[in-house]
Amino acid sequence: MERVLEDFVTAARTAGVRISISETLDAVRAVKVVGYRDRTLLKDALAISLAKTAGEKIILEDCFERFFTFRFFAADSNRVCKDGDMPSLLQTESDLARMLMEEDRAGLMAAMTEAARLENISQIRYFTQRSLFAMRVLGRMGAGGLDSQIQALRQLDTPAAAAEAARLEGARAYLVDNVRNYVQSQYDLFARNEGERRLESELRLVKLSNLEQRYFARIHNIIQRMVKRLNDLHSRRRKAARRGVLDFKRTLRENISYQGMLFAPSWKRKKVERPQIVVICDISRSVLRTVRFLLLFLYGLSQEIAKIRTFVFCTNLVEVSDILGKSPVDEALARIQGGTDIPLIMGRTDYERSFGDFRRDYLAAVTRKTTVLVLGDARNNYNDPHPENLKAIYERCKRLIWLNPEVPAFWGSGDSEIRHYKPYYTMIKECNTLGHIERLISALVRR
């Protein structure tokens, strides 16, 4: 029965319930105590062991009802045989035929589920595999012998044999329909979210500039999960860092009054410094989508980033930290582009003027603890780039990372001035997919 529970846990994970190995072991121990006899008690035991939220409990209960179901092989009054009416051939040579003709529902269910288990039906992942698994389950149940019996009855060429063959063909069709329905239900259990996962994997790799509007909500959900995972990971690291490691010398000194008994351990405290970030974003049309998702990431990780200040530019540069801090990113970007109460000029992109504005008005925001992120394609419309403005920022910060949404082959081509800015950034990264953004933010918040 452990294999049954293992398959149920797999189905629950597929449905969206987060289940760890330790929780699975808790469920195994709980099931050993309550057993499988009482359906309601079993469901409650699994819900207590595996579900962590009200939403997960609802998903788990739905998964339980679909996994432990016995709605197959319903009675068919048109095919029920009367006592003594079963052909002797079927009584002696085929258990499957006997169960079909007697409509032994429990026996058929047991044979089908055992055949499915032996064929590893929990490994089904694609809808094109349904027919394959149905054929394998039928073969494992003995449908091949059933076909042989039908052919043998047809060869007798008598009215009685023809009638028995017809009844047996009806029973076979009944079997095939139920097996197909069972395989479909298993596909829904173990693979119904496979398409969603494949789509999300592709969305992590697709260029954000090519992303269609209809996928924005899905991208936002992916980012929220990424942010939650990073917040959980680094909050655990922060708690461990606060405690530090045991200070042996100080512990011995502090416990001299206890005659050497270590009643009061002392710890080497570590000061945890979270990164301070200044973001300077080009919000021209060619870069805007990448800006949107980068800011979603950064402001979702506000617990990990001690201080974040955001500046946007096109023709000139303005600070928008307050707007992004008080409004959702989509709403804030719409307000910024619309120019509502913001002196931002959405004309031709001018890196020289924008970096000059930052150097003149906001250079004090950069210290030796600050990481500066510049997001832009460095396309300056053939104007003088004046790299000395970026140099002034570079000399004051801890590191300056340039995020370029273009592929490296286009860096420096046409009106791109990235070559002139090269001496004044610590590193340059291609940044045009969710995967690029996730790796960057993970590196920034890593202790």
Out of 3.30.56.10, 3.30.1330.10, 3.40.50.970, 3.40.50.410, select the CATH number for domain 220-244+272-445.
Answer: 3.40.50.410
Helix axes 21-34, 2-15, angle to 10 degrees: 130
> What pTM does this model have?
0.58
Q: How far apart are CA 437 and CA 324, in angstroms?
A: 18
pLDDT digits (tens, 9 = 90+) for 150-189: 888 788 878 888 888 888 888 888 888 888 988 888 888 7
Q: What confidence score (pLDDT) does residue 374 get? A: 92
Q: What confidence score (pLDDT) does residue 151 get? A: 82
Contact 283, 333 (CB under 8 A): yes
pLDDT digits (tens, 9 = 90+) for 324-375: 777 777 777 777 766 667 888 888 899 999 999 999 999 999 999 888 999 9
Q: How far apart are CA 211 and CA 72, in angstroms?
A: 44
Q: How far apart are CA 41 and CA 80, in angstroms?
A: 35
Q: What confidence score (pLDDT) does residue 437 get? A: 83
Q: How far apart are CA 178 and CA 184, in angstroms?
A: 10
Q: How far apart are CA 320 and CA 318, in angstroms?
A: 6
**Residues whose CB is less than 8 angstroms from the CB of residue 118 and which lie 6 or more positions away in sequence, other chains included:** 140
Which portions of the chain are predicted below pLDDT 50?
A: 77, 80-92, 447
Burial of 407 (0-12, 13-18, 19+ CB in 10 A): exposed
Q: What confidence score (pLDDT) does residue 84 get? A: 45
What DSSP letter does each residue of 296-340 carry, written as one string? HHHHHTTTT-SEEEEEEESSSEEE-HHHHHHS-HHHHHHHHHHTT
Task: From residue 167, give the alpha-carbon distance in Å to each of 139, 150, 151, 175.
Answer: 20, 9, 13, 12
Q: How far apart are CA 59 and CA 262, in angstroms?
A: 50
Q: In DSSP terms, which residues pair with 430 in a beta bridge? A: 404
**Residues whose CB is less than 8 angstroms from the CB of residue 330 and which lie 6 or more positions away in sequence, other chains included:** 292
